[in-house]
Amino acid sequence: MSEPARMLLEGVGVDFPVFNAASLSLKNRVLSAMTGGRIDRQHDGAIVVRGLADINLEIQAGERVGLVGHNGSGKTTLLRVLSGIYFPTQGTVDIRGDCVSLINISLGIDPEATGRENIRLRGAMMGMTPAAVNARLDEIIEFSGLGDFIEMPFRTYSSGMQLRLAFAVSTSIRPQILVMDEWLSTGDEDFRERAEKRMNEVVHATEILVLASHTRELIESTCNRVIWLEHGHIRMDGPVDEVVAAYFG
């Protein structure tokens, strides 16, 4: 087996360049200073938005990290840095272990393709090899409960069925590191229980979980460490009860 997962961020900062900044009015400037990151002017005159600044973080295997903060506090940006999508503009990131982010579980799905084809597409999107998808194909179809509908185009499904298929594929992998923006859930009443069980299986099989959420109960029941982001800085980082009490008040 590979070495244990670990994430190490040292002095990480993320600056977004803004190219259509001509329309940047004072009003916008005030608003984003209140809600989001800082807007800065670089020495060469280009406008940048500071998404994250001076993030020092070490996450070890076994940690289930909850990420809290207001909208625009840098949660999504940090999730993207941790998933290896954004390469930080300052500092260094060292991530060991394969990482899968479940942010939009429908990404990669083609409505015209059949359920079976979509399993392959969605699987490929998550980094599964065709062999890995094939090995799990039967299990995914069974879990989705679609039966013969699996051979029908995805667009003919009810929204509940669509969600079930996307959920079944997305939760069929067991990565070392899992990054999620809010919990995955399904509306379907009888499916919910099974989905909940499966989500817990996935979470327990991963070595590191990073979960951004606005829900207090979810953080309390899932995580063993919470990071509170504010204006792209870490405001607080510690055990669940302390940070949750401070953040949710």
Partner 1 sequence: MFPVREAAADGWKDLRAAVSNHHLTTTLGWQEVATRYRRSRVGALWLTINMGVLIGVLSLVFGTLFQVPTDEFIPYLATGLILWMFFAACIGEGCSGFIAASETILQVRMPLSTHVGLILYRNLIILGHNLVIIPLVFLAFLRPVPLDALWAIPGFALVLLNLGWMMLILAVICARYRDMTQIVQNAMQVLFYLTPIIWSVALLPDRVGVAWLQINPFYHLINVVRAPLLGHEVTLINWAVVIGLAVVGWALAIPFFGKYRKRVPYWL
Question: Contact residues for partner 1 (CB under 8 A)?
Answer: 16-17, 19, 80, 83-87, 99, 101, 103-104, 107-108, 110, 112-113, 117, 120-121, 124-127, 129-130, 153
* Residue nearer to partner 1 on the CB measure, 20 or 159: 20
* Residue nearer to partner 1 on the CB measure, 211 or 244: 211
* Residue nearer to partner 1 on the CB measure, 62 or 111: 111
Q: Which residue has the tokens 């359920």?
A: 115
Tokens of 205: 């099989």
Would you put residue 108 in left (φ > 0), alpha (ψ -120 to 50) or beta?
left
Judge residue 189's burial from the number of C-beta atoms within 10 Å of its C-beta, 0-12 exposed, 13-18 middle, 19 or more buried. exposed
Least Å distance, CB 101 to partner 1, is 6
**Using an 8 Å Cβ cutoff, are 36 and 72 in contact?**
yes
**Using an 8 Å Cβ cutoff, are 68 and 236 in contact?**
no
- Residue 238 pairs with which residues in a beta bridge? 226
Least Å distance, CB 87 to partner 1, is 4
* Residue nearer to partner 1 on the CB measure, 111 or 239: 111
* Residue nearer to partner 1 on the CB measure, 107 or 236: 107
Give the separation between CA 94 and CA 96, rounded to whole angstroms: 7
Least Å distance, CB 107 to partner 1, is 6
Amino acid at 148: D
Least Å distance, CB 57 to partner 1, is 18
Q: How far apart are the first and last CA of the chain?
A: 42
